[in-house]
A and B are shown apart, each in its own frame.
Chain A
Amino acid sequence: MTDSELKGAVLPALKKPGGAVRDFLRLAMEKELADAVILPMKVPSGDSFAWILMNDISLLDDAVPIAATMPVQGAKALRSLTRKGPGNLKIIAVMRPCEIRAAMELSKLGQVHPENLILATYDCPGAVQLQKYVDDPAGSEEYFAGMLQKGKPDDSAKPVCHTCENFSMFDSDIHFGYLGLSEKEVLVIPGSEKGSALLEGLGLDLTKDLQAWEKGIDQLKADKLNSRKSTFEETKAQLNGFNGLLSVFANCIGCHNCQSACPICYCRLCYFDSETAEQDPDALITAAEKRGGISLPVDRIMFHTGRMAHMSLSCVSCGQCSDACPVSIPVADVFSYVADQTQRTFEYTAGRNDGDPLPLRQFRKAELPGVHELVKDADAEVPSHE
Chain B
Amino acid sequence: MSEWQPKILAILCNWCSYAGADLAGVSRMQYPPNIRVVRVPCSGRVDPLFIMKSLQSGFDGVLVSGCHPGDCHYISGNYVARRKFAVLKPLLEFIGIEPNRVQFSWISAGEGERFATVVTKITEDVRKLGPSTRLVKKL
Determine if A365 and B135 form an interchain contact, defined as CB atoms under 8 angstroms apart.
Answer: no
Determine if A298 and B94 form an interchain contact, defined as CB atoms under 8 angstroms apart.
Answer: no
| Partner among A301, A306, A385 whose Cβ is within 8 Å of the Cβ of B48 | A306
Determine if A302 and B90 form an interchain contact, defined as CB atoms under 8 angstroms apart.
Answer: no
| Residue ID in chain A nearest B57 by CB atoms | A283
Contacts of B118 in A (CB 8 A): 374
Contacts of B136 in A (CB 8 A): 279, 284, 287, 291, 294, 298
Determine if A245 and B52 form an interchain contact, defined as CB atoms under 8 angstroms apart.
Answer: no
| Partner among B52, B70, B97 whose Cβ is within 8 Å of the Cβ of A306 | B52
A295 at interface, CB cutoff 8 A: yes
Measured between alpha carbons, how far is A312 from B97 in the docked complex, in Å?
19
Contacts of B96 in A (CB 8 A): 241-243, 245, 382
Measured between alpha carbons, how far is A229 from B128 in the docked complex, in Å?
37
* Given A283-B57, A306-B48: A378 touches B138 (CB 8 Å cut-off): no
| Partner among A301, A302, A312 whose Cβ is within 8 Å of the Cβ of B87 | A312
| Residue ID in chain A nearest B137 by CB atoms | A295
In the assembled complex, how far is the CB of residue B17 from the closest CB belonging to chain A, in whole angstroms? 12
Determine if B99 and A371 form an interchain contact, defined as CB atoms under 8 angstroms apart.
Answer: no
B34 at interface, CB cutoff 8 A: no
* Given A271-B49, A305-B52, A378-B128: A294 touches B95 (CB 8 Å cut-off): no
Interface digits, A263-286 against B, CB 8 Å rule (1 contact, 0 not)?
Answer: 000000001000000011001101
B98 at interface, CB cutoff 8 A: yes
Measured between alpha carbons, how far is A30 from B136 in the docked complex, in Å?
61
Determine if B58 and A283 form an interchain contact, defined as CB atoms under 8 angstroms apart.
Answer: yes
Contacts of A110 in B (CB 8 A): none
| Partner among A293, A301, A342, A368 whose Cβ is within 8 Å of the Cβ of B138 | A293
Measured between alpha carbons, how far is A287 from B55 in the docked complex, in Å?
12
A359 at interface, CB cutoff 8 A: yes
Contacts of A242 in B (CB 8 A): 95-96, 134
Determine if A301 and B79 form an interchain contact, defined as CB atoms under 8 angstroms apart.
Answer: no
Measured between alpha carbons, how far is A242 from B94 in the docked complex, in Å?
6
Measured between alpha carbons, how far is A376 from B25 in the docked complex, in Å?
26
Determine if B135 and A302 form an interchain contact, defined as CB atoms under 8 angstroms apart.
Answer: yes
* Given A294-B139, A298-B137: A372 touches B106 (CB 8 Å cut-off): yes
Measured between alpha carbons, how far is A40 from B80 in the docked complex, in Å?
39
| Partner among B80, B99, B139 whose Cβ is within 8 Å of the Cβ of A375 | B99
* Given A345-B86, A372-B106, A380-B99: A385 touches B93 (CB 8 Å cut-off): yes
In the assembled complex, how far is the CB of residue B51 from the closest CB belonging to chain A, in whole angstroms? 9
Count, chain A residues at interface, CB 8 A: 54
Count, chain B residues at interface, CB 8 A: 48
Measured between alpha carbons, how far is A368 from B82 in the docked complex, in Å?
8
Q: Which residues of chain A from 292 to 314 have any CB-CB distance to chain B below 8 Å in the complex?
A: 292-295, 298-299, 301-302, 305-306, 308-310, 312-313
Contacts of A295 in B (CB 8 A): 137, 139
A48 at interface, CB cutoff 8 A: no
Interface of B, helix, strand, loop or mixed by DSSP: helix
In the assembled complex, how far is the CB of residue B119 from the closest CB belonging to chain A, in whole angstroms? 11
Measured between alpha carbons, how far is A363 from B87 in the docked complex, in Å?
13
In the assembled complex, how far is the CB of residue B90 from the closest CB belonging to chain A, in whole angstroms? 6
B15 at interface, CB cutoff 8 A: no
Contacts of B56 in A (CB 8 A): 279, 298-299, 302
| Residue ID in chain A nearest B56 by CB atoms | A302
A379 at interface, CB cutoff 8 A: yes
A360 at interface, CB cutoff 8 A: yes
* Given A302-B52, A360-B80: A309 touches B87 (CB 8 Å cut-off): yes
Contacts of B98 in A (CB 8 A): 380, 382
In the assembled complex, how far is the CB of residue B95 from the closest CB belonging to chain A, in whole angstroms? 5
B69 at interface, CB cutoff 8 A: yes
Q: Which residues of chain B from 100 to 131 have any CB-CB distance to chain A below 8 Å in the complex?
A: 100, 103-106, 118, 121-122, 124-125, 128-129
Sample of 21 A–B contacts (CB below 8 Å): A242-B96, A245-B96, A292-B138, A305-B91, A305-B94, A305-B95, A309-B48, A310-B48, A342-B87, A342-B90, A360-B84, A361-B80, A365-B79, A371-B104, A372-B82, A372-B105, A380-B100, A382-B93, A382-B98, A385-B90, A385-B94
Q: Which 10 A-B pairs have the closest CB atoms?
A: A242-B96, A363-B79, A309-B48, A293-B139, A378-B125, A385-B94, A368-B86, A291-B138, A375-B100, A375-B99
Q: Contact residues of A with B, CB < 8 Å?
A: 239, 241-243, 245-246, 271, 279-280, 283-284, 286-287, 291-295, 298-299, 301-302, 305-306, 308-310, 312-313, 338, 341-342, 345-346, 359-361, 363-365, 367-368, 370-372, 374-375, 378-380, 382-385
Contacts A283-B57, A293-B138, A309-B52 given; 5 further ones with Cβ under 8 A?
A301-B137, A309-B48, A370-B89, A375-B125, A380-B100
